[in-house]
Structure 1
């Protein structure tokens, strides 16, 4: 019997696992008719999930948490039983802003410390000269993009709420918004950073893989009521997506994957815009920079829904005044990510399953074998560019420390 599953996706590189699951037959092999529906904004994804148009969706990693905390319109219980890869986005600035940053010492190597220092100096010079406040775009208030941009700015000595303006735009509009002079920079997923460089409109200043190594980006969002009513179908989907992630991770499949994603009903962009992120050869605007682990579909437990990731996103919601810090809210955030469902679905495949459901983010400075069930597993390096560590067992202290700095 074939089971139809409706899934919303956004035109982004990190929809790859879902697209390949359908196009390469991994979903069909599990008895699933995976029906992918392209949307233009994350708000549409969120709202169509809420009203039952989608059973599952390609979703911003913090979004299911926001849904469960009642932070969204039509908030509906949502689970995240699987991640859809690590990394995959960047911070792009206009050519004009990049020139000012270069004059202030940014050298084009995508290092977040150097770029952040140069941006801080540029902002200070602009304020002294009476120039307008710089405006940066992010894709949604409850997005990894918003939180990592804010983290990078704050760690660089820039107040995200006073020194710059942050606005919301769908990712495919970001490059054109820079070209129209409506924003000075943005944080978005690929290929929309490469698009700005290819059009001569922008310069990639730094990347997610450098701001937070081995960091989460998108998850499979699942309507909780659908998951409860269809446990077998969900498990089959998780298996199909894992097999798809294995295929996407193979270097020999990059060009075929880029071809699939570039189709009009998916990303509708040139194949050439997708290859930099898949290979790690990032075209910054000042040359090509090799970025290890820019986008990981499968290695380093890239599809595992770490509860420590959920709690870090929650910590940022608290830090930036989106939600109050309470034990109940922390528990809801923690319970949103469901490694138990992931383990149950994938254990029969003998794949690498981490020995724990959470980890200290920033504890690994090099690739490290870790305890696992099934196949062997290597994690790291991970952690934040400023050297800070997030221990999920010390959540309250982490939150207090951030608030004290702010």
Structure 2
């Protein structure tokens, strides 16, 4: 089938949340849908972005805000890109150096991943360092247009820390994070797995908090697709979405965790020990103190409509682009962000499977304090609990007010 109309080349980064693409290839979900899926491992999100733009990849495992940034003209190569599917919820954490954790512990931080407590402790550490004229702490995120950057800054801002003046934030590719932390180049990072678990197990860092606590049931990676290719090959794309849906359901089955960790650990994929991958899959993360803490919804590949491309997710990312000065808020720009995510394509492709499909395209983020049945077609659907750790709500129908209310 090589070279045929149903061949798709997809780029990915060696991270836990590339699992759905990898399983679709390895366990023949793609083949069963008539797709010859070729996977290309890359080393940075910039490479993924550029190779998708020039047509080396038809689709890719990408940062959820990246296609929005591309469509807004914020990337070097502007090629219209869509998001027809998400690749899971959650999956990130904030890890700090051993020395910084010791300082935070002195200020009240506990090894329980509580973002409010960890944030208060970090703020106290920063104030103490400033009073003694110590160097500014440096943290790393994986890309300027990443969920990591926005959730990290949201966490800091909510805890009273100015991410533009009180700390330095730099960009480091995920595979280099641990070495940068161990070498003292950075004092902490926000990254996906397995790089938080790796630091904790190697005794090089402590997990301070997790994305699943900062914003429960929050989006992470998505499937990015070149818009023109998608339009011209909608049947092929739809077949791929069905394959990925089957793979996501397999990944979400607890009985498959050991097999999933083994597959991901292979050199061609994540290429790291399965012992680094299992904690996140099992929802039991090492904290760096020799213990482990339960985070049952740390990474969700299928449940809670985890693969649905919610327009409210797109608009929250857009609101953060505005908040941190990356783009000016206009009605035109918000429309570009909204239309980047394509639940219409998702529904049309997956309707034959009879899975739960939300009837809405957007939702109020943070409105569900418990697991709640919601309107769906196909199977029944339960969402939540979701929401921000400070109790904030994001109503996409009140975007202007939300943006106006956010102080930098």
TM-score by length of 1: 0.99
Question: Is residue 2:56 matched to residue 1:58?
Answer: no
Find the residue that maps to 1:82 and give its secondary structure: strand
Aligned pair partner of 1:260 in 259, 263, 267: 263
Find the residue that maps to 1:31 and give its secondary structure: coil
Residue 357 of structure 1 is matched in structure 2 by: 361
Which whole-Å deviations, capped at 9, do the CAs of 1:47-80 have from their partners, x for residues lacking one? 0011110000000000000000000001110000
Aligned pair partner of 2:401 in 394, 397, 403: 397
Residue 240 of structure 1 is matched in structure 2 by: 243
The Cα of 1:335 is off from its aligned counterpart by 0.1
The answer on whether the counterparts of 2:199 and 2:288 sit within 8 Å (CA) in structure 1 is no
In the aligned structure 2, how far is the partner of 1:292 from the partner of 1:127? 37
4+ runs of 1 displaced by more than 6 Å?
Answer: none
The Cα of 1:229 is off from its aligned counterpart by 1.1
The answer on whether the counterparts of 2:104 and 2:118 sit within 8 Å (CA) in structure 1 is yes
In the aligned structure 2, how far is the partner of 1:375 from the partner of 1:199? 43
Aligned pair partner of 2:176 in 170, 173, 177: 173
Which whole-Å deviations, capped at 9, do the CAs of 1:153-181 have from their partners, x for residues lacking one? 00000000000000000001101100110
In the aligned structure 2, how far is the partner of 1:253 from the partner of 1:312? 33
The Cα of 1:200 is off from its aligned counterpart by 1.1
In structure 2, runs of 5+ residues without a counterpart are none
The answer on whether the counterparts of 2:364 and 2:396 sit within 8 Å (CA) in structure 1 is yes
Q: Superposition pairs for residues 98-113 of structure 1, below 5 Å?
A: 98-113=101-116
Find the residue that maps to 2:96 and give its secondary structure: strand
Residue 84 of structure 1 is matched in structure 2 by: 87
In the aligned structure 2, how far is the partner of 1:63 from the partner of 1:344? 24
In the aligned structure 1, how far is the partner of 2:374 from the partner of 2:55? 40
Residue 317 of structure 1 is matched in structure 2 by: 321
Q: Superposition pairs for residues 308-387 of structure 1, below 5 Å?
A: 308-387=312-391
Which whole-Å deviations, capped at 9, do the CAs of 1:275-310 have from their partners, x for residues lacking one? 011010011112110012100000000000000000
The Cα of 1:355 is off from its aligned counterpart by 1.4
Residue 194 of structure 1 is matched in structure 2 by: 197
Find the residue that maps to 2:48 and give its secondary structure: helix
Find the residue that maps to 1:386 and give its secondary structure: coil
The Cα of 1:4 is off from its aligned counterpart by 0.9
Which whole-Å deviations, capped at 9, do the CAs of 1:242-268 have from their partners, x for residues lacking one? 000010001010010001101111111
Which whole-Å deviations, capped at 9, do the CAs of 1:308-355 have from their partners, x for residues lacking one? 000000000000000000000000000000000000000011110011
The answer on whether the counterparts of 2:10 and 2:37 sit within 8 Å (CA) in structure 1 is yes
Find the residue that maps to 1:108 and give its secondary structure: coil
The Cα of 1:198 is off from its aligned counterpart by 1.6
Residue 228 of structure 2 is matched in structure 1 by: 225
In structure 1, runs of 5+ residues without a counterpart are none
In the aligned structure 1, how far is the partner of 2:380 from the partner of 2:53? 38
TM-score by length of 2: 0.98
Q: CA RMSD in A?
A: 0.7
In the aligned structure 1, how far is the partner of 2:266 from the partner of 2:353? 31
In the aligned structure 2, how far is the partner of 1:75 from the partner of 1:192? 30
In the aligned structure 2, how far is the partner of 1:109 from the partner of 1:194? 15
In the aligned structure 2, how far is the partner of 1:75 from the partner of 1:295? 31
In the aligned structure 1, how far is the partner of 2:193 from the partner of 2:118? 20
Find the residue that maps to 2:177 and give its secondary structure: helix
